Amino acid sequence: MLYLTLIVCFVISILITPLIKKLAFVIGATDQPNQRKVHLSIMPRLGGLSIFISFMVGIILLRPDNQYFFAILIGSLIIITTGICDDLFELPAKYKLLGQLAAAFTIVFVGDLQVVFINLPFGGQLQFGLLSIPFTILWIVGITNAINLIDGLDGLAAGVSSIALIIISALALIQGQIFVAAVGSIVLASTLGFLIYNFHPASIFMGDTGALFLGFIISVLSLLGFKNVTFISFVIPVLILGVPISDTIFAIIRRIINKQPLSAPDKSHLHHCMLRLGYSHRQTVLLIYAMSAFFGLVAVIFSQARIGGAIVLIGIIILIIEIIAEKIGLMGQNFRPLLNMLRTLRTSTEKNRS
């Protein structure tokens, strides 16, 4: 039944996306080109609605029996409504945040989903206590915004989200989390159908309708699949979402360094930096896909690693991310502390040799 449902979701997404495109033009849900945008013409940006409709059809067909189902459904409706309103009226950041918080609170209080503790690698537990609710809400809102932030090139957010959904669903299936695997697969099939129209050169954008929905679903599924577990399992969703999470973290650092508001838009995200390096639109998207797949592969390896090897792996990954970020200027062209330190050490070593 699941395989048939996935085919239906994929086909429906393909069929209704052109209709959503026409609807977007009729109601004015369009994206105007400006100095921050890469596209040069007016684009419809309500494409995420086709993903959501396909997802809803899949859910109706599958009718999953799970305690979190109702909360996910209500939270999804809230987040989709927020996204549609933003695509239509360009909501202020505080109203978008309010919608994300409402969806997150629905998961926590209606679904009773919280990260209560983490088993530490060398024994004992890290109990979140009163912080369990704020931590869970922060995770949902943070991942939702992380997906939204990388939605800057044709097919980028849809492709990165698809890769994350593949890894989350596969690992959930291995661990016997059938509900997580089923819902993740339904969202994946719906997203891939839309990606046919969204890959460069795109004929429609997913808009905040799609980016917020995908971020919300991915954040909740990752919590469901890996909550109240070991330190290793907790790091897995962080690795799976390595590209959007690291891009968001570096954006925060960059704005702090430049003394800008955290919500201030700029053109220094990962895809902007790669475009400035001379990569084409399509090459940039495919390279970021490759990065996401690499993080997904690392997450799979990490899930099978012993604690010592896992910690070493984390250290290597963090080092690689930092070096790449400084090389391409994710924190600004002049902020390169690690590279400067390595350059100083190399100069000092060469002087000692001579």
Binding residues for Mg(2+): 148, 208
Q: What is the DSSP letter of 29?
A: -
Indicate the residue type of 349: T
Indicate the residue type of 350: E
Which candidate, 108, 107, 109, 127, places its Cα nearest to that of 118?
A: 127
Compute the distance between CA of residue 25 and CA of residue 199 in angstroms, rounded to an integer.
Answer: 19
Compute the distance between CA of residue 88 and CA of residue 45 in angstroms, rounded to an integer.
Answer: 9
DSSP string for 106-131: IIIIIS-----EEE-TTSSEEE-GGG
Structure token digits, residue 187: 């969202």
Q: Is residue 192 classed as helix, strand or coil in its secondary structure?
A: helix
Q: Is residue 332 classed as helix, strand or coil in its secondary structure?
A: coil
Compute the distance between CA of residue 136 and CA of residue 351 in angstroms, rounded to an integer.
Answer: 51
Compute the distance between CA of residue 228 and CA of residue 193 in angstroms, rounded to an integer.
Answer: 34
Q: Contacts by 226-230 with C-beta closer than 8 Å and gap 24+?
A: 227/113, 227/114, 227/115, 227/116, 228/115, 228/116, 228/117, 228/118, 229/118, 229/119, 230/118, 230/119, 230/121
Evaluate the CA torsion angle 68, 69, 70, 75 in order and state its sign: positive
Answer for the pair 288, 199: CB distance below 8 angstroms, yes or no.
no
Structure token digits, residue 23: 């609807």
Task: Report CA-CA distances (Å) from 14 to 106, 212, 243.
Answer: 30, 20, 27
Q: How many helices (H) and strands (E) does the chain have?
A: 14, 4
Binding residues: 148, 208
